[in-house]
Amino acid sequence: MKSNIRSENDFDVLELSGEIDLHYSPELRELILGSLKGGKALLIDMSDVGYIDSSAIASLVEGFQTAKSTNLEYGLLSISHPALQVLTLTRLDQVFSLYDNVEQFQSQF
């Protein structure tokens, strides 16, 4: 997994790429929770994610729960097909807010 986090005015964008499995999900969790601690909304760009396992999904879920409890916007951007398949299998495609572009996310606040 490779990651990059950049700050926009009102929110952070976490860009992810590569495979995210048991070895990388603790790092993903730290990145997500660390960003949310800063009190800004978070958009996770998953366009270049090749594979995602359930430990990574668990990190995304925990992030979503944390964002909800602190009233912060939280969304997933341009999810790659392999990652979307796993989200669909776990029925979480109906739970997360999914966006096709940054503007859609920005319009939420």
Give the footprint of another protein on this chain (CB under 8 A).
21-22, 25-26, 29, 51, 53-55, 57-59, 61-62, 82, 85-86, 88-92
Q: How far is the CB of 107 from another protein (least distance, A)?
A: 29
Quick one: 99 exposed, middle or buried, by C-beta within 10 A (0-12, 13-18, 19+)? Answer: buried
Nearer to another protein, 11 or 25 (CB): 25
Question: Which residues make beta-bridge pairs with 45?
Answer: 15, 77
Whichever of 14 and 28 has its CB closer to another protein, that residue is 28
**Least CB distance to another protein at residue 43 (A):** 21
